[in-house]
C-alpha cells in the first residue's frame, strides 16, 4: 500500500518524466514533440480572423564552430541562442529546439505583417550578437524564415514552408558572399 509520501514522490517522478519527454535536454526549450503538439492545438483552435505562423531559425556555419572550437563551444552557442530567442516571445508563443542547430517559434494569433516583422527582428537580434565562451566572443550567425497559415492548415505544411523560407534567405546570403552549397 502506498502512503502519502510515496504518492508525492511518484507524482514528482512522473512530472519529471513528462518534462523530459517534451523538452530539449541541453537548452530546456520545448522539443519537436511538444512543438508539434502545440502547433496542432493552435491550428485546431484558430478561427477565420486568426492565423498561425511559424518562424524557422537555423544557425549558419554551426558545423564550423563545432569542428574548430569543439562541441562544448557549440553547446554553449546553442544555449545562448535559446536564451536570446526566449527574450522575444509573447506569452502564447512556443519556442522549440527542433534538433541540431534548428529552432522554431510558433506564432498563434498572429498575422503575416507581424510574422515578417518578428522574423526581421530576430534576424537583426541574432546576427548582431556574440556568445561568450572561454574568453572568446563567437559571432552568432543565423537565418530565419517565416510562414503564416490560416485555420485548417496542415501542420507539416506550416513548418515545411517556414523551413523553405529560411533556406531561401540563407541561399541569398551565401550567394552575396560567393559561397556555394547548402
List the catalytic residue out of 24, 58, 93, 101.
101
Nearest to 74 by CA among 62, 86, 85: 62
- Residue 140 is classified by DSSP as P
Q: How many residues does the chain have?
A: 182
Q: What are phi and psi of 141, to 5 degrees?
A: -125, 130
Q: Are 159 and 104 in contact (CB under 8 A)?
A: yes
Residue 6 annotated in active site: no
- Residues with active-site annotation: 101
Amino acid at each position: 500500500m502506498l502512503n502519502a509520501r510515496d504518492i508525492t514522490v511518484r507524482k514528482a517522478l512522473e512530472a519529471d518524466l513528462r518534462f523530459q519527454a517534451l523538452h530539449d535536454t541541453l537548452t530546456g526549450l520545448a522539443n519537436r514533440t511538444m512543438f508539434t503538439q502545440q502547433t496542432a492545438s493552435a491550428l485546431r483552435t484558430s478561427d477565420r480572423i486568426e492565423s498561425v505562423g511559424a518562424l524557422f531559425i537555423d544557425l549558419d556555419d554551426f558545423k564550423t564552430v563545432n569542428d574548430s572550437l569543439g562541441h562544448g563551444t557549440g553547446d554553449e552557442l546553442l544555449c545562448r541562442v535559446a536564451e536570446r530567442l526566449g527574450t522575444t516571445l509573447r506569452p502564447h508563443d512556443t519556442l522549440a529546439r527542433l534538433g541540431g542547430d534548428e529552432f522554431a517559434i510558433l506564432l498563434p494569433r498572429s498575422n503575416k505583417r507581424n510574422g515578417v516583422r518578428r522574423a526581421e527582428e530576430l534576424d537583426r537580434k541574432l546576427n548582431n550578437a556574440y556568445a561568450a565562451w572561454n574568453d572568446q566572443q563567437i559571432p552568432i550567425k543565423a537565418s530565419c524564415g517565416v510562414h503564416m497559415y490560416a485555420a485548417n492548415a496542415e501542420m507539416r505544411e506550416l513548418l515545411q514552408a517556414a523551413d523553405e523560407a529560411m533556406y531561401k534567405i540563407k541561399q541569398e546570403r551565401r550567394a552575396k558572399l560567393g559561397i556555394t552549397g547548402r
